[in-house]
Amino acid sequence: MKKTNIFVIGGGASGILAAIVAKRNGAEVTVIERNSRIGKKILVTGNGRCNYTNALSSVSDYNNQEFVEYGLKAFSPENTMSFFNDLGIVPKVENEGKAYPLSEQASSIIDVFLYELNRLHIEVVSDAYVINIIKRNQNFQIFLKDGRSFDCDKVILATGGKALATTGSDGSGYELAKKLGHKIVEPFPALVKLKLESPHLKHLQGIKMPAIVELIHNNEVLQKEEGDILFGNYGISGPTILQISRLANELYIKGEQVYIKIILVSSMTKQEVYNRFFMSKDKPVDFSLVGMINKRYISAIIKEAKIEKQNTLVRDLTDKQLNKLVSLLFDWRFLVTGTKGFSDAQVTAGGISVSEINSETMESKKVPGFYITGEVMDIDGRCGGYNLQWAWSSGYLAGMNASN
């Protein structure tokens, strides 16, 4: 019997896994990659350590929760660790379930992928930019920018989103899917640094420290995260901010006013803070804050409390100034004025609408034989190994089903 001839477009995380699974399942598989090498984005994941899954992943870590449920069960974080373990990757599970290769090198993932692609004789056509896919009767024809074309039985689209386009994912997958009749949910950057409005950013720039951060909209707390924050001259970043950035940006794009609230003092009550100021009433206000908050916040927070001189004695502060200063320690708000954009984002929210994809097979409901994997579809997860887990889960389903 003739083997099914599958072309995978995109040699990134989901495409490589789909190719391996399909080939092991008996198909003839070719990967088409626009770069000269596969997996360029994988190399930069997890700060070069590749947080390749999260042992605690659940549907609540993703946007379209009903859609991801089947895939996360069919190829779970446990399956991911076992799949990579068989290829040679010893898992190292750290805090909050984040899993890395024990080697702490993202390049290990590429190395074992290359070995397996080679062992299975999967052809990788590199420096090959796909510009069109046409369905003809039961077959597909794939066209490259350099004029070459290929015929195949089935196509797996694994071109990624728009985040960090220098790794290859430039959003061209959306155009390819659109031409085949698919709907695109407007993409926007997620897991991204936030721009803030504040006259103090110059002072705050470079401060890195743990804090509790809340996302505020209409005076309501929409999301709360705890961990490191890092101020820059544009605004703020750090793991807590990345987690909050998706919802913050979604609302910002809709024209809503959203604020980042920073809680600098969380282990004391307001009364305890007032008592400390009372004890320090003969000291300059800037000195009274030393030992309570990071020294580099002091001058900015005093200015924000509308206290003109940093060395004003605490006892000379007006009630209004003191109350404002205390309240800022518990609730310092910054208006969100955008993000650093796709070039700085770790993931793309939006993409090919999942309403047109079968969640159990990853096959298009519009174009039989056309499968979709990974970030190119309207699925994104939190920061912490969840996005790669979706790449593996969806890649597995597409590889298995396209080759059946």
Ligand X SMILES: Cc1cc2nc3c(=O)[nH]c(=O)nc-3n(C[C@H](O)[C@H](O)[C@H](O)COP(=O)(O)OP(=O)(O)OC[C@H]3O[C@@H](n4cnc5c(N)ncnc54)[C@H](O)[C@@H]3O)c2cc1C
Residues forming contacts to ligand X in the complex (CB under 6 A) are 9-15, 32-35, 40-41, 44-46, 50-51, 129-130, 158-160, 163-164, 168-169, 172-173, 346-347, 374-376, 385-388, 391
Q: How far is the CB of 200 from ligand X (least distance, A)?
A: 28
Find the helix or strand (DSSP H, E) in which 114 lies. helix 106-119
- Are the C-beta atoms of 193 and 244 separated by less than 8 Å? no
For residue 22, give the 3-state DSSP assignment: helix
Cβ of residue 386: shortest distance to ligand X, in angstroms?
6
- Shortest Cβ 40–ligand X spacing (Å): 6
Least distance between ligand X and beta carbon 319 (Å):
48
Whichever of 162 and 329 has its CB closer to ligand X, that residue is 162
CB closer to ligand X, 34 vs 195: 34
Q: Nearer to ligand X by C-beta: 249 or 346?
A: 346
- The answer to whether 278 and 288 are in contact (CB under 8 A) is no
Query: In the bound complex, what is the minimum distance in angstroms from residue 7's beta carbon to ligand X?
Result: 10
Which residue's CB is nearer to ligand X, number 367 or number 391?
391
Q: What is the DSSP letter of 83?
A: H
DSSP characters over 52-72: -EETT--GGGBSSHHHHHHHH
Q: Which residues pair with 124 in a beta bridge?
A: 31
Helices 386-402 and 65-74 meet at what angle, rounded to 10? 70
Comparison of 37 and 324: residue with beta carbon closer to ligand X: 37
Nearer to ligand X, 97 or 284 (CB): 97
| Of 53 and 288, CB closest to ligand X | 53
CB of 96 to ligand X, least distance (A): 12
Are the CB atoms for 89 and 101 separated by under 8 Å? yes
Q: Which of 28, 93, 86, 90 is nearest to 55 (CA)?
A: 93
- Beta carbon of residue 216, minimum distance to ligand X (angstroms, whole number): 27
Question: Could you please report the per-residue DSSP string of 320-359?
Answer: HHHHHHHHHHH-EEEEEEEES-GGG-SEEEEEE-GGGB-T
Comparing CB distances to ligand X, the nearer of 59 and 268 is 59
Q: What is the dihedral of CA 231, 236, 240, 245, to 10 degrees?
A: 180
Query: Of the two residues 8 and 236, which places its CB atom closer to ligand X in the complex?
Result: 8
Minimum distance of ligand X from residue 46's CB (angstroms): 3
**CA terminus-to-terminus distance, the chain:** 13
E strand or H helix at 236? strand 235-237
Residue nearest to ligand X (CB): 12
Query: What is the number of other CB atoms lying within 10 angstroms of the CB of residue 73?
Result: 11
Beta strands per DSSP E along 66-207: 91-93, 98-101, 123-125, 130-136, 139-144, 149-152, 154-157, 184-190, 194-197
Taking the complex as a whole, the smallest distance from the CB of residue 233 to ligand X amounts, in Å, to 21
